[in-house]
A and B are shown apart, each in its own frame.
Chain A
Amino acid sequence: MTPSFIQIKGIRDGLLITLDGLTWSDLAAAFVKNVDERLSFFQGARVALNVGTNELRVADLSALRDQLSERGIALWAILSESTVTETTAQNLGLATRLSIPRPVDKLEPELELPEDAAKWVKGPLRSGGRVIFEGNVVVLGDVNPGAEIIAGGSVIVWGRLRGVVHAGAQGNEKVVVCALEMAPTQLRIAGEIAVSPKKQGKIRPEVVCLKDGQLVAEPW
């Protein structure tokens, strides 16, 4: 028998389970107990959890994820009304929306962003790290090879840029990419792509913008 604070719904991508009504530690324990009681039903399932307003830290979520994975259940998404929980889930590489649209679709602004809105990212952004934002992106620190930034607006890196950056991802050609050291694996502005040429001589800050359909780098 499933208690009332656990609601289970079948969705296209597996199960959507809503936990609500108790404190998180009670909820998590009750949920795991419920899973154990009906293991044959849950085993091999892909689960998205709706945790309502609970504010969850890394330890909470990673513990539950590990407990579920021990039982052969893949936790792939966390839905939450709390931004703390959403950030935690994203840090652990879990989805926070049910349908994962292609990155470009995801860039469609949900709210009307002011033109100078920027996302502040504390670096270094390491390999495997990914930032997607419909406005401008400012990184304080390095962007390492294997990291990716996709921005609707401009991208400013206060550090070395060695990863992949796509600025103006929704087609805005008036954006710029700047970095203290410009050595990206690949750089895209709107629809144009460039790789950075082999550098010689002194390292200096540079700004890249789109001029007549070409990416052009200039001292910054």
Chain B
Amino acid sequence: MTAKVVTIASGKGGVGKTTSVANIAVALASRGQKVTCIDGDIGLRNLDVILGLENRIVYDLVDVIEGRCRLRQAMIRDKRLPELYLIPAAQTRDKTAVSPSDMVRLCDELSQEVDWIIIDSPAGIERGFKNAIAAADRVLVMTNAEISAVRDADRVIGLLDAEEKGPAALIINRLDPELVRRGDMLSVADVLDLLAIELIGIIPEDEKVIIASNRGQPLALDGKNKAGLAFQNIARRLMGEQVPFIELETQNLLWRLLGRK
């Protein structure tokens, strides 16, 4: 097996990278793929919490790199999906504990054992970001439909081009069709207009995503939820399927017909 290494990056913090890594990893694993996700945010780890695996951490990424444990020992198996693993970040260290070539070595070793390696990049464009993209075959750039996030995504896309890690694909997160309709939020077309890269996913705004993250139960397992479905669709597109984008406006129309103001 040779794993595909996918990194999710954004530049700006708080746009939903970690939540998406968890959900995309879960979606891939629920399709029978063998997946390992790596939390690249050393010192500010979160991915374990969102996957609900916080209390199982014994060893972490830095322990593997510094040789205190074997790779398998740091891989935490998911509670629900037997083919999903997490390598958590160290909480007591910082980004300099890992180097880009460490990440390349680690992913090389892992790639024999799994189909997918999904790396959660920290915010920013410094060392942590460079570590996270060093081993990537593919980078997904994440943004919200707001100007500052789009500006940072643009910068990240430029950096990826310079490092020859492009072309990146875009995920637009927390899109609120109602706000777009009223002209109070950038539309998908506005964002694509500026960033001019391939779109791989649109996640609608949904409070259930936050609730699910707080409970440590990623939403992608819930096939009826639109956001969960959007994550499933990203997984399918990564696997090479052609999947049409969910029509977000119809929901709106339905609500309006049902008398929602």
Contacts and interface: CB of A to CB of B under 8 A. Distances in A.
Give the interface size bracket for B toward A: 10 to 19
A144 B99 contact: no
A144 B154 CA distance: 8
Interface stretch (A41-49, A112-120, A121-129): A121-129
Interface string A103-142: 0000000000000000000001011110000000000001
Given A126-B157, A146-B154, 12 more contacts: A58-B162, A58-B164, A59-B164, A66-B100, A66-B101, A69-B127, A92-B162, A124-B196, A126-B158, A127-B158, A128-B159, A162-B194
A41 B240 CA distance: 51
Interface string B99-117: 1110000000000000000
B71 interface: no
A69 B98 CA distance: 11
Contacts of B164: 58-59
Interface string B149-172: 001101101110111100000000
A107 B24 CA distance: 48
A65 to B, nearest CB: 9
A67 interface: yes
Interface of A: 58-59, 62-63, 66-67, 69-70, 91-93, 124, 126-129, 142, 144-146, 162
A9 B130 CA distance: 29
Contact of B155 (A63, A126, A142): A126
B238 interface: no
A126 B154 contact: yes
A69 B194 contact: no
A89 to B, nearest CB: 11
Contacts of B123: none
Of B100, B154, B157, B196, most A-chain CB atoms within 10 Å: B154
Nearest to B159: A128
Contact of A67 (B101, B127, B157, B163): B101
Contacts of A92: 162-163
Contact of A66 (B134, B151, B154, B194): B134
Contacts of B130: 66
B104 to A, nearest CB: 9
B101 A62 contact: no
A14 B196 CA distance: 40
Contacts of A58: 162-164
B151 A127 contact: yes
A142 B159 contact: no
Nearest to A125: B158
Interface of B: 99-101, 127, 130, 134, 151-152, 154-155, 157-159, 161-164, 194, 196
A126 B200 CA distance: 20
A78 B183 CA distance: 48
B196 A66 contact: no
B136 to A, nearest CB: 13
A66 B102 CA distance: 10
A127 B158 CA distance: 7
A146 B155 contact: yes
B48 to A, nearest CB: 26
B163 A145 contact: no
Contacts of A67: 101
Contacts of A144: 154, 194
B40 to A, nearest CB: 15
B54 to A, nearest CB: 30
Contact of A91 (B127, B134, B152, B162): B162
